[in-house]
Amino acid sequence: MNLSRPYTILGRSVDADVLRVLAGTADAMTGRQVERLVGRGSHRTVQLTLARLAAEGLLDVREYGASKLYTFNHEHLAAEPVLALLGIRGRLLERLRAEFEQWRPEPAHVSLFGSAARGDGDEDSDVDLLLVRSDAVDAEDERWRTQVERLRHSVARWTGNRAAISELSEADVRAMLTDEPPILVELLADAVGLAGRDLSTYVRSLT
């Protein structure tokens, strides 16, 4: 699944992009404004899409001088499933956080990073996870290893994407702080916290 544009699971047309733009605001927008924010498709394609979605009732349209103003119709029966599809990335974060709340032994820290965190990946992108194991937990602890493998399976089932898990011990993180590799800068810039303190606060606690 394309986690940056998860609604494309239903198709590659600009329909879902138009809905994303209008469902994300309460403001009425002209076709030109929608077209600019969609960022793809021809002028004619976007205009035809707006007309069709308005005819279906998902968009409200009113005349404004020589222009038409469009808004998303939240009362439409299809509005709720459309909004649910647009919010899939948020649902993934919720599921991951709920998953880690159940872990015993608990992780010292977990963050989502990479394209899934930035929102610029595609259907072939991995779901990158930084998983920090407490120094009190052995790397081969059976309960820990079972949790990690369950996580790999769950992410694939939830998204269709591979979970790329970067598992480190707290000692490994301390070593990274000493060496300061480029990946550390990327992590601190992009990381979305899933368990434990946010990454920058957690890293400071180890120094």
Residue 1 lies in a domain: no
pLDDT digit string, tens, across residues 110-134: 999 998 898 887 888 999 999 999 9
Last residue within a domain, chosen from 29, 55, 85: 85
Task: Collapse the DSSP code of 21 into the 3-class scheme (helix H, G, I; strand E, B; otherwise coil) and give the result.
Answer: helix
Regarding whether 64 and 132 lie in a shared domain, the answer is no
Q: In tens digits, what is the pLDDT along the chain, a chain of 207 residues?
A: 777 767 666 565 788 889 999 999 999 999 999 999 998 889 999 999 999 999 999 999 999 888 899 999 999 999 998 899 888 889 999 999 999 999 999 999 999 999 889 888 788 899 999 999 999 999 999 999 999 999 999 999 999 999 999 999 999 999 888 877 777 777 888 899 999 998 889 988 887
Regarding whether 111 and 76 lie in a shared domain, the answer is no
Residue 195 lies in a domain: yes
Q: What is the DSSP track for 128-189?
A: EEEEEEPTTS-TT-HHHHHHHHHHHHHHHHHHSS-EEEEEEEHHHHHHHHHH--HHHHHHHH
Regarding whether 157 and 73 lie in a shared domain, the answer is no
Task: Collapse the DSSP code of 87 into the 3-class scheme (helix H, G, I; strand E, B; otherwise coil) and give the result.
Answer: coil
Regarding whether 99 and 66 lie in a shared domain, the answer is no
Regarding whether 133 and 37 lie in a shared domain, the answer is no
Residue 112 lies in a domain: yes
- 8-state DSSP, 78: T
pLDDT digit string, tens, across residues 79-107: 998 899 888 889 999 999 999 999 999 99
Distance from chain centroid for Cα 46: 25
Beta carbons of 202 and 107 less than 8 angstroms apart: no
164 is in which domain, residue-wise?
89-206
Regarding whether 30 and 122 lie in a shared domain, the answer is no
Regarding whether 190 and 135 lie in a shared domain, the answer is yes
Regarding whether 108 and 79 lie in a shared domain, the answer is no
- Number of domains the chain contains: 2
The predicted pLDDT at position 143 comes to 98
Contacts of 8 (CB under 8 A, 6+ apart): 2, 16, 123
State how beta strands 192-195 and 127-133 pair.
unpaired
d(CA 84, CA 57) in angstroms, rounded, equals: 18
pTM equals 0.80
The predicted pLDDT at position 12 comes to 57
Token pair, residue 168, equals 């480190």
Beta carbons of 112 and 129 less than 8 angstroms apart: yes
User: Tokens 């965190």 identify what position?
Assistant: 117
**45: CATH:** 1.10.10.10
